[in-house]
Amino acid sequence: MVKQEKEVRIAVEYGKQCDCACRNGRVEVGAPRSRAQWSMIVAWLIGIVLALGEAVALYHAVPGLAAASWLEVKEQTACEAMQHNYCLGLYGFTIKHDGTFIAGPSDQGIKAEGRIEPEELEQLEELIGQLLPSLSSGERICDNGGPPGIRDHLDIAFASGPVVRAYDLGGSVGKLCYLGLWDHVRGLHEYLRTLMSRYYPVPFPTH
Q: Note the pTM of the prediction, 2 decimals.
A: 0.69
- Mean pLDDT, rounded, of the chain: 77
Of 19-33, 100-114, 166-180, least confident by mean pLDDT is 19-33
The domain spans of the chain are 2-57, 65-199
pLDDT over 70 at 164, yes or no: yes
For helices 182-199 and 118-137, the axis angle rounded to 10 degrees is 150
Q: How large a percentage of the chain has pLDDT more than 90?
A: 54
Mean pLDDT, residues 146-162 taken together: 89
Give residue-wise pLDDT tens across range 58-72: 555 666 665 568 999
Range 108-120 average pLDDT: 97
